[in-house]
Structure formats: structure tokens, C-alpha cells
Homo-oligomer: A and B are copies of this chain.
Amino acid sequence: MTAADANPFLKQYLMTAGPTPLPPRVSQVMAEPIRYHRAPAFVEVYERVLERLPQVFRTANDVLCFAASGTGAMESAVANLIGPGDPAVVASCGKFGERWAELCDAYGAETGHLAVEWGERVEPDRLDEFIAGRERKPRAVYVTQSETSTGILNDIRALNEVATGHGAVLCVDAVSGLGAADLRQDEWGVDVVVSGSQKSLMCPPGLGFASVSGRALALAADNDNARPPGRYYLDWARTAKGQAEDPPNSAFTPAVTLFMGLDVALELIFDEGLDRVFARHAVLARAARAGIEALGLERFGPDDENANVVTVAALPEAIDGAMVPKLMRDRFGVTVAGGQGHLKGRIVRIAHCGYYGAFDIVVALSALEIALRELGHDAEPGAGVAAAQSVFAASGAPEPVAG
């Protein structure tokens, strides 16, 4: 694959679930002259970000920041809690959920893996039964909030009740969901929530976050009495100690430009208001779902009005599904994601997490329709866009966050 088959003069539209489009103000601040991470001019930014981030997690925890992809933050939840032979349970329903199992295996856990079909939710009852059937109770249970590979949103509140009911801490991958679908960490009593910068938080990739309860921090410290920790960069205690200093002091050189961007992105989020942000995502998802159905496509996965991060359409078997995102990108400049793993060629994913507004959905549906018709799928011209417009008209078309 090279850029040679694409038309370089097309106006580009990024419609993926990470990296997501950046508000211009976020992009611009990263182009300012770089600051020394120990100088007041940066420490001020760092402090403000550390103060604001917990509000997105809806927690009183300090949110630990790592210069890492979201997977680095996920790994911290395994590396700090699980060592060789420790019992862990993973409940997955897609590619990113399966990553939890790979992580647990890499750390030598005694991993129980409840692997639900891709495209289904993890039902709390099934998790309950699964844990009850394990010989040893898990120290930690690993789940995914928004499974980006399938568009599924799991019920974290209910899954947390199950995990804590069995005495385990729940660790939630909220990489794509945080800031798009509500997750009330403290109200629901969730011990560990990890996320990343490049999805709903409207920043480039490169920052990973872990919001860790006191109970989970204590569990991590317990482990270390028994054996060498086997981690350093992703060690929660080291990063927590630095961030708790006055002024906060990052344990390692922070990714300065990404923090500059995050500072602006958080300002935009709080200017819009977190509840309005969630409401905007809900309307965008509703419009995307309506559009897909109007194009004569089936939605992939269960009907779920809370699945507001990525809308996934199953592609007709009669067409070459892998060509859909390729045509949309190379011929029309609209970059959406197709399927991963065994879903390659079978689905198309329309993202609406982060800096997305009504007319992004219009563009995505319009390009999708053209591509589908070109591949022989008989969609009524304009039907997808019309359906989305109706949703926006009825809801008072949400404006995208000011950027």
C-alpha cells in the first residue's frame, strides 16, 4: 500500500476512532515553541491538566499520566496488579478486549478468559457465572467500555458490581469511550479506568492515563512485597508520587507538546460542558444509525442507544467489503476504518468520538453511499443523509465544540 493509488489533491476528512480529528486550537498550540518541562511556564500547564483530567473520569483520584499509547496505560493495570500465577479474569468482546488477555498472559497470570462473540456485549450474568466457576477468585477483572473494533458499549456499572461482588478490582479500558460515553468512576465504585489521548479527548496519540483507586494502589503495593515489581516506567506508585508533589513533578520527561494540546482540549470540553458533550455524541450516533439503516445496511451488533462512540455497519455479502473504506478514502478523501481481524471486509466503522459535529456524519454517510452504489449496492440516492438530517433537525443539530 502506498500513497500512489490515492489522489493527493482531495480535500481530506478524517473519520476514524483514533487518531480522531483535532480542533484547530489543539493543533496550533503544539506548534508553539516548546517549553522546558521543569520551568514554571510548563508546570502551570501540567498542573492544570492534572486538576482537570479527573473531572472527565468523574473521580477524586489523581489520574496518572504516561507518555505511551493507550496500550501502555492498559499494561500498567496488569503490570501493577498481576504477577506470575496470579488469578485474573478477562471478559472480551472484540480485538481490544482480547488485548487484555494477551497482557495477562504476558505477565504469567492464571488467566480466565470469557471471550464473547465479536459484536455482542459482555452480559453481567455471564461474567458472574464465569467468575463463580473459577477455582481461584480473580484479583482483577479486565473489561472494555467501548469496544472500538465492533462499536459495542459494555455496561460498566453492572460489570463492576459483578467484579467487586467477587472481591476483585475491575479494570476498565475506556480508551475510546472516555469523554464520549459517561463513566462515573467514583459513583459506580470502579477501581481502575485507563484511557488515551487520541480518541474522545481530541488530542494526538501518545498519552496514556490510569485513574487508580486507593484500594487498587494498595493491592499493587502488596504484590511488591512478594517479588520484584517487574515494571518501572509504568509503575503507578512512582508516577503517583511525582504527581502528588507540589508543584507536580513528572517522574519522567512528559510529552510536553501533547500536554499543551490536552490542556486546550480539556478547556474546550469544559467550555462545552461534559453533559453537553455526551448529549452531542448521542445525537451524532443516533444520526449515524438512522443513516446506515436508510442505506439498507444492517447495524453490526445489538441495538443500543448508548453505543455513542463508533457506529458500525455490516456490509452486504454481495459486495467486496474491503473496497468500501478504500474507495471512500482514495476516491473521495474520507478516511473511515473497516473491520479488524476476522471482521476485515465485513464491516465499516463510522466514528463520532471527540471533535465531531453533525456535518461530519453527513459527509461520512454521503461518501459511504457513493462507495456502496459504485460497488453495486442498491441504496436510494441521498437516503442516508436525509435520515441523518431528520435526526439533527429534530434534536436541534448539535454544533461541534468550538475549536
Q: Which residues of A contact B (CB under 8 A)?
A: 1-6, 12, 14, 16, 18-22, 27-28, 30-41, 43-44, 67-72, 75, 78-79, 84, 102-103, 105-108, 196, 198, 204-206, 227-235, 247, 252-258, 329, 335, 337
Contact = CB atoms under 8 A, between A and B. Distances in A.
7 contacts: A1-B247, A5-B40, A30-B31, A78-B232, A107-B228, A204-B255, A204-B257
Given A205-B254, A253-B70, A34 B6 contact: no
Contact of A230 (B28, B106, B205, B254): B106
A31 B79 CA distance: 34
A139 to B, nearest CB: 16
A48 to B, nearest CB: 11
Contacts of A36: 14, 16, 19, 335, 337
Given A2-B44, A16-B36, 10 more contacts: A2-B43, A21-B33, A22-B33, A30-B204, A34-B204, A67-B206, A106-B235, A107-B228, A196-B253, A205-B253
A87 to B, nearest CB: 14
A206 B66 CA distance: 10
Given A39-B335, A232-B102, A253-B198, A84 B227 contact: yes
A33 B202 CA distance: 12
Contacts of A2: 40, 43-44, 247
B232 A103 contact: yes
Contacts of A103: 232
Contact of A72 (B19, B35, B68, B102): B68
A35 B22 CA distance: 10
Contact of A27 (B21, B33, B230, B337): B33
A4 B337 CA distance: 47
B30 A257 contact: yes
Given A67-B72, A102-B232, A233-B75, A34 B19 contact: yes
Contacts of A198: 253, 256
A42 B32 CA distance: 23
Contacts of A231: 106
B34 A14 contact: yes
Contacts of A32: 27
Question: Interface centre among A3, A4, A31, by most B CB within 10 Å?
Answer: A31
A70 B106 CA distance: 23
A244 to B, nearest CB: 15
Contacts of A18: 253
B255 A206 contact: yes
